[in-house]
């Protein structure tokens, strides 16, 4: 249903404290510069495409219910009919929004709407504005990457659930509570180009508060999202990393020590959590004192080194809801996130944990880590590569690999 984006690739050559040995070839730059826009991005083609998809939904829904009526016809016989059809609906929605260039974006710098405030009230969540980090105070190489990309720190929104630790900074009770509990810094997924609809009060922070004896509160960060052609280019790497870093420093300003902060993320948020952890470990030497790291189906390879016919990208296509490579959303998100600066993809590539083709990423002195994957998800292979490298470098790792799809806990 349209042309695919060309592959985004990388190769090797330069070293920095966070980088391994990679630099961009002319072929890579040419490939990134020729990335094509989603096929339906102008009117009336866009409107006709969206109308067609909406009209096709009812018969498609009926077809899925008939096709998957018997367990033997489902991607996994253990799945219920509701779950199977639900996965098809999610994939339909992603494809429709992507091809129609209508992906939802978070408005990180705007005041919350009435609907946002109603959702906050429903889940007893609280809005907080997080002050920006000064790029001049960010150590190399991240500070240099930010200046090269023209990225500055901005004020972003965060959402608290749990104890009101942000209001107890100067009280004795608050001090005692913080010393007895930990706080989670949560980074949502969405391929760096869209926000989860429920990110404001994400179910993972809510469930963690309800089921954990150590956590007293969770802060979910509305970090900047990226965009690229055919939309205006905005917020390339390391914009999201700067927002994550400013959120970490905000928690420190409340009186939490690094040992009391658990960094968590799902999907691309897991990728961002690893990038933040890598900076804190290798630049600020906080590895031994960080409270922990939780990675839920983390996207740990933004290259295409795990994309081949025998890989989980192809093997698990029918048992996940992510779009396949034929939809090109992977190349678009990488292009938007890495930006148009020379070497942009290589700079972020050094924050990745699991490219197969020669990445020198190490995990020495990393905090204890909980790594969760779904055995039938499309990015399973890169997560297992990450697991092997963490084990190799002595990370205190707990790995869970259940029969589930992407980021399902």
pLDDT tens by residue, 169-215: 545 444 554 455 899 999 998 888 877 655 555 677 777 777 788 88
The residue range of the domain holding 335 is 106-402
The burial class, CB within 10 Å (0-12 / 13-18 / 19+), for 29 is middle
Asked about 267 being catalytic, the answer comes back as yes
Decide if 364 contacts 393 (C-beta within 8 A).
yes
Domain assignment of residue 205, yes or no: yes
Domain assignment of residue 22, yes or no: no
From the candidates 227, 246, 267, 328, which is the catalytic residue?
Answer: 267
Query: Rounded to two decimals, what is the model's pTM?
Result: 0.84
Q: How far apart are CA 113 and CA 68, in angstroms?
A: 40
Top-confidence residue, 361 or 349: 361
Domain assignment of residue 244, yes or no: yes
CB atoms < 10 A from the CB of 342, how many? 14
pLDDT 10s digits, 35-67: 444 567 788 988 898 999 999 999 999 999 999
Domain assignment of residue 37, yes or no: no
CB atoms < 10 A from the CB of 376, how many? 21
Please report, for the domain that includes residue 175, its CATH number.
3.40.50.1820
Domain assignment of residue 220, yes or no: yes
pLDDT 10s digits, 129-156: 999 999 999 999 999 999 999 999 999 9
Q: For the chain, how many structural domains are there in total?
A: 1
Domain assignment of residue 304, yes or no: yes
Q: What are phi and psi of 363, to 5 degrees?
A: -130, 35
Could you tell me the two tokens for 121? 């009230």
For the chain, first and last CA: distance in Å? 33
Domain assignment of residue 375, yes or no: yes
Domain assignment of residue 77, yes or no: no
Strand partners, 261: 183
CB atoms < 10 A from the CB of 271, how many? 27
| Residue corresponding to tokens 């489902």 | 74
């Amino acid at each position: 249903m349209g042309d695919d984006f060309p592959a985004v690739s990388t190769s090797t050559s330069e070293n920095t404290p966070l980088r391994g040995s990679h630099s961009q070839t002319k072929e890579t730059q040419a490939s990134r510069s020729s990335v094509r826009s989603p096929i339906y991005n102008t009117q009336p083609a866009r409107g006709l495409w969206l109308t067609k998809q909406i009209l096709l939904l009812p018969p498609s829904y009926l077809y899925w219910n008939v096709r998957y009526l018997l367990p033997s016809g489902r991607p996994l016989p253990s799945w219920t009919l509701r779950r199977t059809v639900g996965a098809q609906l999610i994939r339909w929605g992603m494809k429709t929004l992507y091809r129609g260039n209508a992906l939802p974006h978070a408005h990180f710098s705007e005041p919350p709407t009435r609907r946002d405030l109603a959702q906050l009230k429903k889940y007893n969540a609280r809005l907080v504005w997080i002050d920006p980090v000064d790029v001049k105070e960010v150590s190399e190489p991240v500070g240099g990457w930010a200046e090269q990309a023209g990225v500055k720190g901005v004020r972003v929104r965060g959402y608290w659930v749990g104890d009101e630790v942000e209001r107890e900074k100067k009280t004795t009770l608050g001090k005692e509570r913080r010393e007895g509990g930990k706080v989670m810094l949560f980074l949502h997924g969405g391929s760096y180009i869209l926000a989860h609809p429920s990110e404001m009060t994400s179910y993972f922070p809510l469930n963690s508060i309800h089921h954990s004896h150590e956590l007293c509160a969770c802060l979910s960060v509305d970090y900047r999202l990226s965009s690229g052609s055919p939309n205006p280019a905005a917020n390339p790497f390391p914009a999201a990393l700067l927002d994550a870093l400013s959120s970490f420093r905000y928690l420190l300003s409340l009186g939490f020590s690094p040992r009391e902060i658990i960094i968590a993320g799902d999907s691309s948020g897991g990728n961002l959590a690893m990038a933040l952890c890598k900076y804190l470990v290798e630049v600020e030497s906080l590895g031994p004192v960080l409270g922990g790291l939780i990675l839920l189906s983390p996207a740990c390879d933004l290259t295409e080194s795990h994309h081949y016919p025998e890989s989980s990208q192809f093997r698990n296509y029918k048992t996940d809801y992510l779009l396949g490579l034929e939809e090109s959303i992977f190349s678009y998100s990488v292009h938007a996130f890495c930006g148009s600066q020379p070497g942009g993809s290589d700079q972020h590539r050094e924050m990745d944990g699991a490219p197969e083709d020669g990445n020198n990423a190490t995990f020495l002195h990393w905090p204890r880590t909980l790594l969760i994957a779904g055995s039938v998800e499309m990015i399973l292979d890169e997560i297992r590569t990450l697991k092997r490298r963490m084990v190799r470098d002595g990370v205190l790792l707990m790995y869970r690999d259940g029969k589930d799809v992407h980021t399902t806990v």
